[in-house]
Amino acid sequence: MASPSSAAWIEGRSRDPLTHRIDSYATLTARAGVPVKIFIGCRDGQIFPEIHFLARVGFRQRATTYHFDNGSVIPRLAPLCDDCERVFLWDGEAADATAAIRRAKRLHMRIEKASFEFDLAGAEKVVRGIKCKQSLQTALQRAQ
């Protein structure tokens, strides 16, 4: 269930098939219609941004660089998720990456020899609308 939002952001909700928990998410396709998206969703009850490709981009890790607006270029050996189509691009915590996405106007990234640019207009509003339910594991950890 997805709907258009600010700029080219698409917001939606997904249902976990095991817990039946409903979380919200947002996606943004790279400029020029390149089949690469920023996905901002929920993982363990927290907002978690990652880059999604429509096909495998390799195994284990990939050499990447990225920068927000005119900021410093950050080189990183980024880990690929199990399906090899998702990359946790950011150097640091998910919350820091989410905050940077909210503040920036553009994200420029390179993976191997391919370059992508994202127009982040409207990110502040979109990210504010993402609601993550606390996972059982997170709730148990906080209760200790």
Distance CA 59, CA 80 (A): 7
pLDDT tier for residue 1 given thresholds of 50, 70 and 90: very low
CATH of the domain at 36: 2.60.40.1880
Mean pLDDT score, 2-28: 76
Distance CA 137, CA 128 (A): 24
Q: What percent of the chain has pLDDT over 90?
A: 38
Q: Please determine, for residue 72, whether its predicted confidence score (pLDDT) is greater than 60.
A: yes
Total tally of structural domains belonging to the chain: 1
pTM: 0.79
Q: Look at residue 118 in the predicted model and tell me its pLDDT.
A: 94
Range 98-104, long-range pairs (CB < 8 A, 24+ positions): 98/40, 98/47, 98/48, 98/49, 98/127, 100/68, 101/38, 101/40, 101/49, 101/68, 101/127, 102/127, 103/68, 104/68, 104/69, 104/71
Q: Which domain holds residue 57?
A: 2-143
The contacts of residue 133 (CB under 8 Å, 6+ apart) are 21, 22, 23, 42, 45
